[in-house]
């Protein structure tokens, strides 16, 4: 039984010539973050992660404050328990699939014995149907397989929330559908807040319940996906939803 | 047939010019090595090895360069990790300063070392009270080598750490990797080929070091007379000895280049350590 986890954030972050302002509350759901290139979506993800430090704002996960500029609180990235899945999957190229997952297990708060780590890693890989790839290096895997290893690794770190950056952009069309199904099942099972940056309406309709729209550093709208399709809040969303193939 | 004959005359000026210039420089660089290898004949060169200078110099060179390379790696790795990650202006200044030993004449480096650590130098009094008298000792050889060779490793290592994919580091941190774990388990494995290359260049520079060693450590057989210094001394005694010792040094350098090429050609790391 999972307690209700909420990702609540208000961030103000000035980078180069534009300021990023976003206020968002994410429950146990997946929110898709869309917007034109340069709108600040990836910067927002990095600020939530703690890689960039905003000037002002507040970020909390469940009851834990991760960032509060007013109180000068800023927890380091490694303590935020936010899983990050970058566009190119972020697998360590020098570690096999099993060792990639074991890395996450080794970094957990409560140390796990070395012998048990490998066993656990295999169990996670099994959950995603790729236990047979345990000994392979990332370079020897297809895009879809890599995404599943990355997902297994992220889940193994027992995150409180998950941040995805264009999860299907680096995949070919056939792999995309399969990964979307895997992601949908996993996110549903994990029941944690998920924020997903995407340019692809296929991702949005398959995975997200709500749509957050960013433009020039500002979060301008946040609506339910069904609502966004019927009554697009901005022209950009209208184009995105209207395109049957991959969006810009 | 007629086509190739016609083509032969095309762009003759360009091709002739390029060939002459390239060949000119190529010869200047290659002929001395050929002469080193062949002049006098193998018999005379072999006899040149049999000299009282040879083995102490070889032993000293190998031991001191091994120590100085280890010192460079132990100190240089944390320093370049910091330099690569720091956004401070002072870090950029430091990076430039640390390259100075490369551009100054080695003899100048030797004098600077004397002024810093010599008996009458800046830290000389302090060191003497601690029981150290580094100048004109084997320790001075290691110090001189470290001084001139470190920038080569620092540059390679800083570049390697700067080039690390920030997304990979971000992912590692998001998984919970502490700063030590990030360094040992992610950054080092990723940077390893470049670090090895940098260490090899550093070792090569230390092996060939002459000017700073002569000034700061002196030229005492068995104690501070490394291979390059022995070659310099041998020139007064017997040309063939100098030639033999030079061939020894060239042999090391050539072997090093071969190793470097092998390393840079390995496309993937087959590391299975992890977790």
Q: pLDDT digit of tens for each residue in chain A (248 aa)?
A: 344 455 666 777 676 666 777 888 888 899 999 999 888 888 889 989 999 888 888 888 888 888 888 888 999 999 999 999 999 999 999 999 999 999 999 998 787 888 899 999 999 999 999 999 999 999 999 989 999 999 999 999 999 999 999 999 988 888 899 899 999 999 999 889 999 999 999 999 999 999 999 888 888 888 899 888 888 888 889 888 886 444 43
Rounded-to-5 percentages of helix, strand, coil across chain B: 80, 0, 20
Rounded Cα distance between B134 and B143, Å, is 9
Predicted confidence band of residue B2 (pLDDT cuts 50, 70, 90): low
- Are A187 and A162 contacting, i.e. CB atoms less than 8 angstroms apart? yes
Q: How many CA atoms lie within 13 A of A232 on its CB side?
A: 13
Position B128 scores a pLDDT of 83
Q: How far apart are the first and last CA of chain A?
A: 40
- B-chain CB neighbours of A121 within 8 Å are 275
Mean pLDDT across the stretch B219-227? 90
Rounded to the nearest angstrom, the minimum Cα separation between A205 and chain B is 26
Instruction: Report the share of chain B in percent with pLDDT over 90.
Output: 60
Q: Which of chain A's residues have a Cβ under 8 Å away from the Cβ of B177?
A: 78, 103, 107
CA distances to B3, B18, B168 from B14, rounded to whole Å, are 20, 6, 48
Q: Do B272 and A108 touch (CB under 8 A)?
A: no
* Neighbour order of strands in the sheet with A161-165: A73-74, A64-68, A56-61, A7-15, A18-26, A218-224, A210-215, A30-34, A194-197, A161-165, A82-85
Cα gap A243→A201, rounded to integer Å: 8
Which tokens in the block code for residue A72? 């000068």
Residue B274 clears pLDDT 80, i.e. is over it: no
pLDDT at B96 over 80: yes
Does the distance separating the beta carbons of A80 and B174 come in below 8 Å? yes
Short-list B93, B188, B198, B104, CA closest to B155: B198
Q: What is the pLDDT of residues B107-153, one digit of tens each?
A: 999 999 999 998 888 888 888 888 888 888 899 999 999 999 999 99
Write down the ipTM of this complex: 0.90
**pLDDT-wise least confident of A165-169, A196-200, B175-179, B252-256:** B252-256
Across the range B21-35, mean pLDDT stands at 95
Sign of CA dihedral B136, B142, B143, B147: positive
Question: What was the pLDDT predicted at A1?
Answer: 32
Angle between helices A114-127 and A143-156 (to 10 degrees): 130
Q: What is the residue-wise DSSP string for chain A?
A: ------EEEEEEEEETTEEEEEEEEE-SSEEEEE--TTSSHHHHHHHHHTSS--SEEEEEETTEEEEETTTTEE--GGGS-EEEE-TTTT--TTS-HHHHHHHHHHTSSS---HHHHHHHHHHHHHHTT-GGGTT--GGGS-HHHHHHHHHHHHHHT--SEEEEE-TTTTS-HHHHHHHHHHHHHHHHHH---EEEE-S-HHHHHHH-SEEEEEETTEEEEEEEHHHHHHS-SSHHHHHHHH-SS---
Q: How far apart are CA A136 and CA A194, in angstroms?
A: 29
**Taking an 8 Å Cβ-Cβ cutoff, which residues of chain B contact chain A?**
166-168, 170-179, 181, 185-186, 189-190, 268-275
A173 touches chain B (CB under 8 A): no
Give the gap in angstroms from C-alpha B179 to the nearest C-alpha of chain A: 9
Task: With cut-offs at 50, 70 and 90, classify the pLDDT of residue B158.
Answer: very high
CA distances from B171 to A50, A87, B168 (A): 11, 11, 5
Q: Which of A236, A231, A226 is nearest to A198 (CA)?
A: A236
Measured in angstroms, the CA of B190 and the nearest CA of chain A are apart by 7
pLDDT at res. A244: 47
CA closest to A90 among chain B residues = B168
CA atoms of B198 and B156, how far apart (whole Å): 5
Does A105 contact B at CB distance below 8 Å?
Answer: yes
Chain B interface test: which of A94, A111, A137, A167 (most B C-beta within 10 Å): A94
Say yes or no: A148 contacts chain B, CB-CB below 8 A: no
> Quick check: A78 contacting B, CB < 8 Å?
yes
Facing B177 at nearest CB: one of A100, A107, A153: A107
pLDDT band at B194 (very low <50, low <70, confident <90, very high): very high
Interatomic CA distance for residues A38 and A19, integer angstroms: 12
Is 0.90 surpassed by the pTM of this model? no
Q: Is A116 on the interface with B (CB under 8 A)?
A: no
CB proximity A113 to B under 8 Å:
no
A46, A49, A66, A77: best mutation site toward chain B, by most B Cβ within 10 Å? A77
Contact residues for A134 (Cβ-Cβ < 8 A; gap 6+): A96, A97, A98, A121, A122, A125
Cβ within 8 Å, pair B168-A92: yes
Candidate from A243-247, B80-84, B215-219 with smallest mean pLDDT: A243-247
A15 touches chain B (CB under 8 A): no
Q: How many CB pairs under 8 A join A and B?
A: 94
């Amino acid at each position: 039984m999972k307690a209700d986890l909420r990702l609540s954030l208000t961030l103000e972050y000035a980078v180069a010539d534009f300021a990023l302002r976003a206020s968002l509350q994410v429950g146990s759901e997946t929110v898709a973050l869309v917007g034109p290139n340069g709108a600040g979506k990836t910067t927002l993800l990095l600020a939530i992660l703690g890689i960039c430090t905003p000037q002002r704002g507040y970020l909390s996960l469940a009851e834990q404050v991760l960032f509060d500029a007013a109180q000068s609180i800023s927890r380091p990235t490694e303590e935020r328990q936010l899983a990050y899945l970058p566009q190119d999957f972020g697998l360590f190229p020098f570690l096999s699939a099993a060792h990639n997952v074991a890395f996450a297990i080794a970094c957990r708060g409560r140390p796990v014995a070395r012998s048990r780590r490998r066993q656990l890693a295999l169990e996670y890989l099994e959950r995603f149907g790729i236990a047979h790839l345990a000994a392979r290096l990332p370079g020897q895997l297809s895009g879809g397989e890599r995404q599943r290893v990355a997902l297994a690794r992220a889940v193994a770190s027992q995150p409180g929330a998950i941040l995805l950056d264009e999860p299907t952009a680096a995949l070919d069309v056939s792999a995309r559908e399969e990964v979307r199904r895997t992601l949908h099942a996993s996110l549903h099972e994990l029941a944690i807040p998920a924020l997903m940056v995407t340019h692809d309406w296929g991702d949005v309709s398959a995975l997200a319940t709500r749509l957050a729209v960013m433009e020039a550093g500002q979060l301008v709208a946040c609506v339910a996906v069904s609502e966004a399709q019927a009554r697009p809040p901005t022209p950009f969303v209208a184009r995105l939803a209207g395109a049957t193939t991959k969006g810009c | 047939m007629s086509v190739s004959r016609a083509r032969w005359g095309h762009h003759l000026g360009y091709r002739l010019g390029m060939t002459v210039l390239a060949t000119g420089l190529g010869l200047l660089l290659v002929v001395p090595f050929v002469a080193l290898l062949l002049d006098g004949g193998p018999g005379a060169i072999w006899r040149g090895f049999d000299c009282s200078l040879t083995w102490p110099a070889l032993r000293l060179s190998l031991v001191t360069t091994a120590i100085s390379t280890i010192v460079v790696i132990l100190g240089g790795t944390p320093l370049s990790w910091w330099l690569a990650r720091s956004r401070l202006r002072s870090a950029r200044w430091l990076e430039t300063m640390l390259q100075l030993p490369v551009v100054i004449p080695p003899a100048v480096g030797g004098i600077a070392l004397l002024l810093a650590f010599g008996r009458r130098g800046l830290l000389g009094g302090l060191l003497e009270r601690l029981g150290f008298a580094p100048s004109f000792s084997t320790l001075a050889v290691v110090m001189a080598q470290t001084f001139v060779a470190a920038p080569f490793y620092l540059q390679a290592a800083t570049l390697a750490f700067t080039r690390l994919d920030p997304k990979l580091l971000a992912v590692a941190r998001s998984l919970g990797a502490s700063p030590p774990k990030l360094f040992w388990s992610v950054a080092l494995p990723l940077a390893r080929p470049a670090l090895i290359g940098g260490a090899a260049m550093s070792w090569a520079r230390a092996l060939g070091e002459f000017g700073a060693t002569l000034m700061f450590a002196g030229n005492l057989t068995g104690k501070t007379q490394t291979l390059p210094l022995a070659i310099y001394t041998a020139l007064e005694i017997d040309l063939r000895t100098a030639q033999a010792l030079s061939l020894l040094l060239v042999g090391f350098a050539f072997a090093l280049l071969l190793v470097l090429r092998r390393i840079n050609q390995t496309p993937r790391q087959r590391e299975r350590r992890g977790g």
